[in-house]
Structure 1
Amino acid sequence: MLSSPWIAALIALFSWWFSTGIILLVVRSADKAKSGAHGASVFFSIPLFALGMAGLIISASTLNVMNVYIAFLSVLLVWGWIELAFLSGIITGPERQNCPEGLTGFARFNRAWHTLSHHELLLLCGLLVVTVATTGAENTFGFWAYLILFTARISAKLNLFFGVPRINTEFVPAPLQHLKSYFRKGNVTVAFVIGVTFLSLATACFAERLYSAETAPMQVGFALLFALSALATLEHWLMVIPLPDAKLWRWMLPALPTTSKTGQSHEL
């Protein structure tokens, strides 16, 4: 059953939804807890990061169905911990104040960069580690999964900075409230066109590789990558199309503190 590309695609979809929901749940719960809860959640989840790195390295040596799944899920663990560290406000950037009114151009971009710089460098370090772990290996699906997540996240952040019609902020946690001042709501820019075109082409490429795959591990691997890149493309379109995507996770999260300002969000 696990050799079916349909099952693999469903597993990718569920893993994306479930891992996002768990991260949001941990962050929202820490928002409502005592001081230090965010740091504690990041610290005590380090073993999951280590498990992900170990799984990625071990699964890279041999290409079979089980190792493809292990590599994919291991990358989600690594990526999830990095995202948790960011959303918890532990690894973000040196700038933690709102964007000054009237700041434009390179000065605004430079200030925005310093709100995220440590996180972006950690993502880049993660990419380098994954690249080293999979270079020359039989199973490189972990590398491609991380690269999709990395590319989609950079593109999403650039679009939120340059401007998109739909910007939702419901899931922005307390430690990152200042980031909302760097978002720009407006018409789509060339950044959106480039990002969505690249992700659409990647999705089509993985679909073609899936169609032409001759072995079960290749079918499973490309099904996972196809589903992941399709989800990344959809997330970009949700910055334009007004669909209530936040409902996918809102029902499972504790209510916001009454003093919080709420909106909506899908980009994290």
Structure 2
Amino acid sequence: MVTYGLPIVATLVAWWFSTGAILYLDGLPRATFRWSLAGATLAVLAAFWGLAATAGDTSVAGAYLAVFCALVVWGWNELAFLLGYVAGTTREPCAPGLRGFARFGAATRAILHHELALLASLAIIAVLTADGANLFGLATFALLFAMRLSTKLNIYLGVPNTTVEFLPEHLAYLKSYFRQRPMNLLFPLSVTAATLLSAWLVHSVVRAGDPFAITGFVLLATFAVLGLVEHWFLVLPLPVAELWAWGLRSRDEAAHADPALAPARVATPLPSAPGLATPRAVPPPTLVA
């Protein structure tokens, strides 16, 4: 039971804590941002070294280290984005009246640097682990990237629960690229694909023949299921924001100390379908999706 249960618990704790920690750092006064990113950069350098060091390690510890080093690399990208250091080529709201490919192009430019940083990180991990037998770190980052890309596309196309209330003030312009709709055509495909991937990874756990493979596939399967759950967060009226209330507390503390330093917490109107209700507060896309 420990062989299967411990990786699941470790993944859940890492998912919950790392998301909350990033939200907490992002809610601090902007004067702290450079120090937060500097600390995260030291951590990501150590994570890259860890991925290289564990590339040939097929022990249980090697599986854990590879996966969580990849998670640190992912966390650096998320923090750099939310702090506003790595975003896109434009920092302006979507121009009124843009539709189709013009709107998609504008939305892409708004987060282009972030996407390129993610691709560069994936390439670095692939190079560092290319000659090794332990590819769970690479698989973890690729899984997180795919889940997050799916989430971004669904938010762009329109879902009932957007994440606007959790964007910091310096990224408020991104709200104009979101849509609020009851459903979009991509969402059922995304959920189906995530479900099939989760099932395949669970099946891989069953077929795994040694503790290293079992541990690695349990970690991957848990991340995949979390990504699936986070997709459902986009459409189900659940009070999931309470999961990270402690991480959002820094915004309230900053507002109490100096209201001018507090990140914005007020939702702005979104393009929506006729008759659709006001956006509900849900957690931002986390480290999984």
TM-score grouping bracket, smaller chain normalisation: over 0.9
Structure 2: how far apart are the matches of 1:142 and 1:178? Answer: 33
How far did residue 43 of structure 1 move? Answer: 2.4
Structure 2: how far apart are the matches of 1:265 and 1:80? Answer: 20
Which residue in the other structure is 1:229 paired with?
A: 224
Which residue in the other structure is 1:14 paired with?
A: 13
Q: 2:111 aligns with which of 109, 116, 119?
A: 116
1:147 and 2:142 are equivalent in the alignment: yes
Structure 1: how far apart are the matches of 2:92 and 2:282? Answer: 21
Query: Cα–Cα, structure 1 residues 91 and 74, in superposed 2: closer, same or farther, change >3 Å?
Result: same
Structure 1: how far apart are the matches of 2:168 and 2:22? Answer: 11
Q: How does 1:96-245 map to 2 (within 5 A)?
A: 96-245=91-240
Which residue in the other structure is 2:277 paired with?
A: none
Structure 2: how far apart are the matches of 1:158 and 1:109? Answer: 10
Partner letter of residue 267 of structure 1?
P
How far did residue 192 of structure 1 move? Answer: 1.4
Structure 1: how far apart are the matches of 2:224 and 2:266? Answer: 29
Partner letter of residue 38 of structure 2?
F
TM-score of the superposed pair, with normalisation by structure 2: 0.86
Post-superposition Cα deviations, 1:146-186, rounded to whole Å, max 9, x if no partner, equal 01100011111111111112113232112211111110001
How far did residue 132 of structure 1 move? Answer: 1.8
The answer to whether the 8 Å contact 1:156/1:267 transfers is: no
Percent identical among aligned pairs is 35
Gaps of 5+ in 1: none
Superposition RMSD on alpha carbons, in Å? 1.6
The answer to whether the 8 Å contact 1:39/1:90 transfers is: no
How far did residue 19 of structure 1 move? Answer: 0.7
Post-superposition Cα deviations, 1:189-213, rounded to whole Å, max 9, x if no partner, equal 2221222222111100110011121
Partner letter of residue 84 of structure 1?
L
Structure 1: how far apart are the matches of 2:82 and 2:19? Answer: 12
Query: Cα–Cα, structure 1 residues 93 and 163, in superposed 2: closer, same or farther, change >3 Å?
Result: same
1:51 and 2:46 are equivalent in the alignment: yes
Structure 1: how far apart are the matches of 2:96 and 2:34? Answer: 31
Partner letter of residue 250 of structure 2?
P
**Structure 1 stretch 60-69 or stretch 257-266: which is displaced more?**
257-266
Partner letter of residue 236 of structure 1?
H
Gaps of 5+ in 2: 268-280
The answer to whether the 8 Å contact 2:239/2:282 transfers is: no
Post-superposition Cα deviations, 1:213-255, rounded to whole Å, max 9, x if no partner, equal 1211111111100100000011011101111111001134224
The answer to whether the 8 Å contact 1:61/1:137 transfers is: yes
The answer to whether the 8 Å contact 1:52/1:75 transfers is: yes
Structure 2: how far apart are the matches of 1:232 and 1:152? Answer: 6
Q: Give the SS at the match of 2:85.
A: coil
Structure 1: how far apart are the matches of 2:141 and 2:61? Answer: 18
How far did residue 58 of structure 1 move? Answer: 0.6
Q: How does 1:16-55 map to 2 (within 5 A)?
A: 16-29=15-28, 33=29, 35-55=30-50
How far did residue 26 of structure 1 move? Answer: 0.5
Higher relative contact order (CA 8 A, sep 6+): 2
Structure 1: how far apart are the matches of 2:41 and 2:59? Answer: 28
Which residue in the other structure is 2:283 paired with?
A: 266
The answer to whether the 8 Å contact 2:162/2:180 transfers is: yes
Post-superposition Cα deviations, 1:90-129, rounded to whole Å, max 9, x if no partner, equal 0001211111222211111111111100000010111111
Q: 2:250 aligns with which of 244, 248, 254?
A: 254
Q: Give the SS at the match of 2:165.
A: coil
Structure 1: how far apart are the matches of 2:86 and 2:18? Answer: 19
